[in-house]
C-alpha cells in the first residue's frame, strides 16, 4: 500500500535535501511556481510533493478532494504531511513569544503523459492549433464555474493538458484534449458563483499569458506571443457561449432527468439543447397520438432515449458508420444529423424530414466510403426507427 511506502520518505528533512538522502527522483519538467516541489518514485508510484504552509496544504488537499467529488479534472490528492520545525521567535511588547512552525506537504499522484509546455507554448504555434488547447481550458472553466467553483489562480502554469480517452457507453470511444487544474490552494467552493467572479477568473487567466510571454522573452526563447487579440477574443467569446449552453443544458437535464453529457459527450452548439427538447416533445406527442396515454416530460424522455436514441446509435455502430466520419462517435453523428436537419429546414422554410437530411449530411460530410446503395439501405433502416415518430408528426403514412 501507499502508506507504508510513503513512510520510508525522510519527512523530517526539507524536500530540497531529499536527493542527497537517496530518495529516487523522477525527471519531470514543472511549470513556473513559487514553492519547492519534487517528483519522487516510491514503490510503483510517482508522487509529487509540494512544500508550503501547513494550513495552505490542508486546504489544498481538501480542495482537490472536493473538486474530484464534483467531477472536475484535477490532480489525485494523496494527503498532507506535516513537519514541525523549531518554533519561530516573535518579539512582542511583553517579551518573546514562540509560534509553532509547521511546514506542510501537499502530496499528489503524478499526472502523467501531459503535453509538455515546451511543445504547447514555446513552439511557434498557429492559431488554429492553439484553439484546441483553448477549447480544453475553456471546458475546464465551464466545468468549474457551473459547479460553483472559483479558481482564484487560473493560469497556464497551473493547468496541465493531456489527451484522454473518453468512453461513451455502447456508443463509441474518443480521444479528447483535456485540461487539468493542478494548483488548488486558492480554490473556493460554493453552491454557485457570481458573474463577476467568473469573469475575474477568465481575466486573470488572460493576463497570465502576458507573464509567460515575458518569461520566455527573458529566457531568449522566440515564438509567437500568446494572448494575442485573436486568442483573447476567441477565449472570451467561446467561454461565454459554452457557459450559457451549459447552463441551459443543466436546466434541461433537471427537467427531463436525462444525463445528456453521458449520452452525447459534450454539446458543441447551443441549439442542440433545443433540438433534444424538440425531439422529446415530439416523441411525447407521438406516444399520446398513438393512444399510449399522457406522459410527463421525464417519462417521455426515457421513452425517447430507449425507443429512438439508443436504437439509432446502435444502428450506427452495427453498420460501422462512424468509420466514414473520422473522429466522430455514433451519438455525435446522430446529433449532427439532427442539427443538419434543423438548419436545412430553417433554410427551406419547412421541415425537410429525416430522410432528406440524413442523405444530404452523408453526401456532404462522409469520406469516400461505400456505394450509394449502402447509404440508401442504411437510411431506410434509420427511418424505421426514427421515421415512425416523423410519420406520426407529419401525418403522412408510409
Ligand X SMILES: Nc1ncnc2c1ncn2[C@@H]1O[C@H](COP(=O)(O)OP(=O)(O)OP(=O)(O)O)[C@@H](O)[C@H]1O
Residue 72 dihedral angles phi and psi, to the nearest 5°: -90, 145
DSSP string, 221-253: ---PPSS-HHHHHHHHHHHHHHHHHHHHHHHHH
d(CA 390, CA 398): 10
Binding mask 119-148 for Mg ion (x = CB under 5 A): ------------------------------
**Pairing relationship of beta strands 159-168 and 45-53 according to DSSP bridges:** unpaired
35 counts as binding ligand X under rule CB under 6 A = yes
Name the minimum Å distance from CB 242 to ligand X: 24
DSSP helix, strand, coil percent of the chain (3-state; round to 5): 55, 20, 30
String of contacts with ligand X for each residue 102-141, x by CB under 6 A: ------xxxx------------------------------
Per-residue HEC secondary structure of 253-266 comes to: HHHHCCCHHHHHCC
Least Å from the CB of residue 319 to Mg ion: 48
If binding is defined by CB under 6 A, does position 65 make contact with ligand X? Answer: no
Among residues 51, 139, 183, 332, the one that binds Mg ion under rule CB under 5 A: 183
Question: CB pairs under 8 A, 24+ apart, for 385-389?
Answer: 385/307, 385/308, 385/311, 385/312, 385/315, 386/308, 386/312, 386/354, 387/354, 387/355, 388/286, 389/282, 389/283, 389/286, 389/308
Q: Out of 9, 50, 161, 375, which residue is the one contacting ligand X (CB under 6 A)? A: 50
Which span sits near Mg ion by CB under 5 A: 26-34, 101-109, 118-126, 373-381? 26-34
Q: Which is nearer to ligand X, 64 or 325 (CB)?
A: 64
Compare residues 33 and 43 and give the one whose CB is closer to Mg ion.
33
Identify whether the C-beta of residue 105 lies closer than 8 Å to the C-beta of residue 51: yes
Pick between residue 26 and residue 376 the one whose CB is nearest to ligand X: 26
Candidates 13, 17, 24, 33; binder of ligand X (CB under 6 A) is 33
Binding segment toward ligand X, per CB under 6 A, in 144-152, 155-163, 249-257, 380-388: 155-163
Q: Which is nearer to ligand X, 32 or 82 (CB)?
A: 32
Report the residue number, 15 or 280, with the smaller CB distance to Mg ion.
15
**Does 158 sit near Mg ion (CB under 5 A)?**
yes
What is the three-class DSSP state of 398? coil
Q: Which of 164, 191, 158 minimizes the C-alpha distance to 178?
A: 164
Residue 48 interface partner, choices Mg ion, ligand X, none, CB cut-off 5-8 Å depending on type: ligand X
CA distance to 56, 279, 290, 391, per residue, from 386 (Å): 55, 10, 15, 9
- Among positions 158, 256, 339, 379, the unique one binding ligand X when judged by CB under 6 A: 158
Q: Is 43 in the site for ligand X (CB under 6 A)?
A: no
Least CB distance to Mg ion at residue 35 (A): 8
C-alpha pair distances (Å), 395 with each of 103, 202, 348, 356? 74, 50, 20, 17
Question: Rule CB under 6 A: which of 316-345 touch ligand X?
Answer: none
Residue 33 sits in the site that holds Mg ion (CB under 5 A): yes
Q: Which residues contact 20 (CB under 8 A, 6 or more apart)?
A: none
Segment lying near ligand X (by CB under 6 A), choices 3-11, 33-41, 314-322, 333-341: 33-41
Contacts of 53 (CB under 8 A, 6+ apart): 102, 103, 104
Rule CB under 6 A: say whether 37 interacts with ligand X: yes
What residues make contact with ligand X under the rule CB under 6 A?
30-31, 33-35, 37, 48, 50, 75, 108-111, 153, 157-158, 160, 182-183, 185
- Interface residues with Mg ion (CB under 5 A)? 33, 158, 183
Amino acid at each position: 500500500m501507499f502508506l507504508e511506502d510513503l513512510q520510508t520518505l525522510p519527512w523530517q528533512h526539507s524536500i530540497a535535501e531529499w536527493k542527497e538522502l537517496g530518495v529516487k527522483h523522477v525527471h519531470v519538467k514543472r511549470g513556473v511556481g513559487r514553492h519547492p516541489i519534487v517528483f519522487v518514485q516510491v514503490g510503483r508510484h510517482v508522487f509529487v510533493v509540494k512544500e508550503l504552509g501547513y494550513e495552505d496544504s490542508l486546504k489544498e488537499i481538501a480542495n482537490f478532494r472536493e473538486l474530484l467529488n464534483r467531477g472536475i479534472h484535477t490532480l489525485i490528492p494523496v494527503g498532507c504531511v506535516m513537519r514541525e520545525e523549531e518554533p519561530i521567535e516573535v518579539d512582542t511588547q511583553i517579551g518573546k513569544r514562540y509560534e509553532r512552525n509547521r511546514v506542510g506537504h501537499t502530496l499528489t499522484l503524478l499526472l502523467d503523459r501531459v503535453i509538455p509546455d515546451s511543445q504547447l507554448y514555446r513552439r511557434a504555434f498557429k492559431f488554429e492549433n492553439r484553439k484546441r488547447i483553448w477549447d480544453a481550458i475553456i471546458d475546464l472553466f465551464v466545468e468549474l464555474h457551473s459547479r460553483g467553483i472559483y479558481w482564484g489562480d487560473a493560469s497556464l502554469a497551473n493547468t496541465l493538458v493531456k489527451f484522454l480517452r473518453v468512453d461513451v457507453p455502447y456508443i463509441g470511444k474518443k480521444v479528447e484534449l483535456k485540461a487539468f487544474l493542478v494548483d488548488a490552494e486558492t480554490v473556493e467552493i460554493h453552491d454557485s458563483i457570481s458573474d463577476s467572479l467568473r469573469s475575474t477568473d477568465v481575466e486573470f487567466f488572460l493576463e497570465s499569458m502576458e507573464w509567460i510571454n515575458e518569461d520566455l522573452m527573458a529566457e531568449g526563447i522566440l515564438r509567437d506571443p500568446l494572448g494575442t487579440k485573436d486568442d483573447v477574443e476567441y477565449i472570451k467569446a467561446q467561454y461565454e457561449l459554452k457557459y450559457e449552453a451549459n447552463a441551459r443544458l443543466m436546466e434541461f437535464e433537471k427537467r427531463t432527468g436525462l444525463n445528456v453529457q453521458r449520452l452525447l459527450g459534450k454539446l458543441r452548439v447551443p441549439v442542440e439543447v433545443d433540438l433534444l427538447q424538440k425531439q422529446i416533445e415530439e416523441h411525447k406527442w407521438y406516444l399520446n397520438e398513438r393512444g399510449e396515454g399522457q406522459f410527463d416530460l421525464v417519462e417521455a424522455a426515457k421513452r425517447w432515449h430507449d425507443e429512438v436514441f439508443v436504437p439509432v446509435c446502435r444502428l450506427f455502430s452495427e453498420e460501422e458508420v462512424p468509420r466514414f466520419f473520422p473522429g466522430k462517435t455514433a451519438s455525435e453523428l446522430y446529433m449532427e444529423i439532427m442539427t443538419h436537419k434543423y438548419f436545412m429546414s430553417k433554410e427551406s422554410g419547412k421541415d425537410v424530414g429525416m430522410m432528406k437530411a440524413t442523405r444530404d449530411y452523408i453526401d456532404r460530410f462522409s469520406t469516400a466510403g461505400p456505394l450509394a446503395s449502402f447509404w440508401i439501405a442504411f437510411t431506410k433502416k434509420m427511418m424505421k426507427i426514427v421515421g415512425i415518430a416523423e410519420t406520426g408528426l407529419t401525418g403522412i403514412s408510409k
